[in-house]
Amino acid sequence: MGRWVIISSERAKRPDEFLPLAPADNGPQPDCPFCKGNEGKTPPEILVSRPAGTPANGPDWSVRVVPSISPVLRIEGKLEHRAKGLYDVATGIGAHEIIVETPEHVASMAHLPEGQIGQVLDLTIQRIKDLERDPRFKYVLLFKNCGKAAGEGRFTHSRSQLIALPVTPIRLKDKLHGARQYFEFKERCIFCDILRQEMDQRLRVAEETTHFVALAPFASRFPFELWVLPKEHSADFIRMTPEQKLDLSRILKVILSKLSRALKDPPYNTILHTAPFRRARAGYWRTIDQDFHWHLEIMPRLTRVAGFEWGSGFYINPTPPEEAARFLRETTPNG
Amino acid sequence: MGRWVIISSERAKRPDEFLPLAPADNGPQPDCPFCKGNEGKTPPEILVSRPAGTPANGPDWSVRVVPSISPVLRIEGKLEHRAKGLYDVATGIGAHEIIVETPEHVASMAHLPEGQIGQVLDLTIQRIKDLERDPRFKYVLLFKNCGKAAGEGRFTHSRSQLIALPVTPIRLKDKLHGARQYFEFKERCIFCDILRQEMDQRLRVAEETTHFVALAPFASRFPFELWVLPKEHSADFIRMTPEQKLDLSRILKVILSKLSRALKDPPYNTILHTAPFRRARAGYWRTIDQDFHWHLEIMPRLTRVAGFEWGSGFYINPTPPEEAARFLRETTPNG
């Protein structure tokens, strides 16, 4: 929607030309609060996958969800929104949870077994469904900062984050609005149309499983940026079938392993875009089931965002998405 | 406009708590193409400030504008814009110029004399006026990447960049649109209203000169983000009076020196937001002279943008702008 990306083919870069912005430091960290045995260093677990009968906050777990140690928003309090002179202020209500993806000190989801990724997806969906019941929240943002250049803090332990928000994120609103406009015009989902065209042309498809496609999107902002989309139309990540969930862990394992091998464990962010909570399917949300299509963005952090991008909202990408997709198709995933 | 910023006062950080993301490397660089004596390492100068009678591209200059060595857009060719399946493609027409701000190897505008900054402003305005004459261009983006974390390349020599674009940047469009909506509602410029309120309250004013104010904007996205605005309403940076230009170099010198002292030569970006070219004052641009107000953003790069910011379009700022402004008021600029 009005976003332009400059694919600077004169600067075209193959994966081996990207120097990591900072070398990955994936060694052990004895004081890591997310490792097995250090459960006391985090607040008590909210949700956990552990054998029946083992004590809460003890060491026998495989995936663990805990409140953030340094939350950006707090869950207590009433939602308030008022004017302050020319400006608007709101109380910082929200929830900030950490999904610890493994009891071992592994630095990236790329190195977790497929079954472990499946468990992470399970607990993630359960947490979002639970947060949906709090009427103060409009959206839960699921994301991952892996590696320093992706904004990860001191600890390198593989984890995802959930932030429940009392407002719909502006970036999602833009996406919803664009999808709505397309739907009004064509009476079709724009993401379904993109999927059909891409699966026909096979230029930008990096990976495909029974239920999912990983695409290097046309005019992608960042080198090796990927979108993972369900083939079957659906607005809601949390309404996946059990079979789709298994298949999603499969494609994530393959594509993250390939990125890890091709780009030497690059720093990356993942961001889920799914429909906001809608307690009544009325008003603006009336057609969202039809016009929006959830997807997961995977963004390796290989270039820096600088004045041009900040000032214009446009992006410069030195790797054409067609080359990124072809390269990933030709890469063997790590074992 | 719909953008929320979380000022996390529990994480409140004073300047001395910011570790530089990467230590500044401001030492000499013998192969720097922007240093006096190395003029042959850049394409020939487009505009220069040098004593009458000295040869073009010789060493006797004080400010020099040259085409970029690795342009992101090229000036040759016809503008084309067409559909490609579902997508739009356009030819990458544009100009990319570098304003070399000093013949010596100085790493930041903060360390240039006020008179030198004035010359840089002079040449910048001349270049933008010249690029305005090319009917293919709608906007010239002026920005600066100072320091690695701000996206600067290998060479640390102080410089600004100009990129002429065949489209209006989406980020500017959002700003123009917001200012237009406010004007339609209030029949006043939103920036003038903000200036009045801020100069009354004095909570977020970091510096003031005869014609300019430097503000830490309400709910600023980044710690120590500043906006420099002319007190007198004007949509166009390039229509400054000579007196304003002198005064702008004064406030830039003071505020950049203070940032440099308070934050130990932080990496930073500057971005100019000014009205787009309007060859006919009709249609959408009919009221832009009244509703838009040019300003310069200065953004030290002290925090990393991560999954939350990318996913939501919201920001987390650990330094309340009131504290940033107060701290800068109390800082003595470097000599």
pLDDT for A106-121, tens place per residue?
999 999 999 999 999 9
Lowest model confidence (mean pLDDT) among A24-33, A164-173, A176-185, B194-203: A24-33
Confidence at A143, pLDDT banded by 50, 70, 90: very high
CA–CA dist B52, A32 (Å, integer): 65
CB within 8 Å: B170 and A6? no
Torsion sign over Cα B262, B264, B269, B272: positive
Q: Quick: pLDDT tens for B21-39.
A: 555 667 889 999 999 999 9
Substitution target in B80, B304, B322 with the highest count of A β-carbons within 10 Å is: B304
CB-CB neighbors (< 8 A) of A270 in chain B:
307
pLDDT at position B61 is 97
Side chain identity at B9, as an amino acid letter?
A: S
For residue B237, give the nearest of B97, B116, B121, B67 by alpha carbon.
Answer: B121
* The model's pTM: 0.90
Decide: A141 and A163 in contact? Cβ < 8 Å.
Answer: yes
Would the ipTM clear 0.90, i.e. be above it? Answer: no
For residue A306, give the nearest of B176, B330, B271 by alpha carbon.
Answer: B271
Side chain identity at B108, as an amino acid letter?
A: S
Average pLDDT over residues B180-192: 94
CB-CB neighbors (< 8 A) of B149 in chain A:
304
Q: Give backbone dihedrals phi and psi of A138, rounded to 5 degrees, phi first.
A: -105, -20
Q: Please give the sequence-ordered ranges of beta strands (E in DSSP) within B8-153, or none if there are none.
A: 47-49, 63-67, 81-84, 87-90, 95-100, 139-146
Calculate how close chain B gets to A38, using CA atoms only, in Å: 24
- For the domain bounded by B5-75+87-329, which CATH number is listed? 3.30.428.10
Calculate how close chain B gets to A171, using CA atoms only, in Å: 5
CB-CB neighbors (< 8 A) of B2 in chain A:
170, 173
Q: Quick: pLDDT tens for B99-129.
A: 999 999 999 999 999 999 999 999 999 999 9
CA–CA dist B170, A12 (Å, integer): 25
Percentage above 90 pLDDT, chain B: 70
pLDDT at position A70 is 81
A6, A190, A269 member nearest B72 (Cβ) = A6
Side chain identity at A189, as an amino acid letter?
A: C
CB-CB neighbors (< 8 A) of B144 in chain A:
307
| CA-to-CA separations, B92 to A156, A187, A313, in angstroms, rounded | 40, 32, 16
Answer with the residue of higher pLDDT: B330 or B19: B330
For residue B4, give the nearest of A135, A150, A85, A87 by alpha carbon.
Answer: A87
Q: Give backbone dihedrals phi and psi of A44, rounded to 5 degrees, phi first.
A: -55, 150
For residue A141, give the nearest of A276, A325, A328, A6 by alpha carbon.
Answer: A276
CA–CA dist A122, A118 (Å, integer): 6
What CATH number matches the domain at A5-76+85-329, 3.40.640.10, 3.40.50.720, 3.30.428.10, 2.130.10.10? 3.30.428.10
pLDDT at position A21 is 54
pLDDT at position A84 is 82
CB within 8 Å: B310 and A174? no
Strands A159-165 and A295-300: unpaired
CA–CA dist A119, A117 (Å, integer): 5
Percentage above 70 pLDDT, chain A: 92
For residue B126, give the nearest of B211, B240, B234, B2 by alpha carbon.
Answer: B240
Q: Find all residues with CB under 8 Å of B86, minimum gap 6, and list them.
A: A190, A193, A194, A197, A218
CA–CA dist A99, A121 (Å, integer): 10
A92, A141, A307 member nearest B308 (Cβ) = A141
Place of tokens 């650990």: B318
Q: Please provide the size of chain B in residues.
A: 335
Calculate how close chain A gets to B62, using CA atoms only, in Å: 24
Strands B5-7 and B315-317: parallel
* Extents of the domains making up chain B: 5-75+87-329
For residue B14, give the nearest of B261, B306, B318, B329 by alpha carbon.
Answer: B318
Decide: B321 and B204 in contact? Cβ < 8 Å.
Answer: yes
CA–CA dist B170, A171 (Å, integer): 13
Calculate how close chain A gets to B168, using CA atoms only, in Å: 8
pLDDT at position A9 is 64
pLDDT at position A40 is 96
Answer with the residue of higher pLDDT: B84 or B30: B30
Q: Quick: pLDDT tens for A164-182.
A: 998 889 999 989 999 999 9
Confidence at A232, pLDDT banded by 50, 70, 90: very high
Q: Find all residues with CB under 8 Å of A88, minimum gap 6, and list them.
A: A81, A82
CB-CB neighbors (< 8 A) of A82 in chain B:
none
Place of tokens 């429940």: A164
| CA-to-CA separations, A321 to A9, A197, A201, A269, in angstroms, rounded | 11, 15, 13, 18
Q: Find all residues with CB under 8 Å of A174, minimum gap 6, and list them.
A: A1, B313
3-class DSSP assignment, residue B100: strand
CA–CA dist A119, A122 (Å, integer): 5
| CA-to-CA separations, B50 to A13, A253, B102, B115, in angstroms, rounded | 38, 60, 12, 14
| CA-to-CA separations, A277 to A135, A138, A289, B9, B202, in angstroms, rounded | 9, 5, 11, 29, 41
Residue B152 CA, chain-centre distance (Å), reads 14
Evaluate if residue A14 carries a pLDDT over 80: no
pLDDT at position B94 is 87
CB within 8 Å: B310 and A316? no
Evaluate if residue B11 carries a pLDDT over 70: no
Greatest extent of chain A over all pairs of C-alpha atoms, in Å? 61
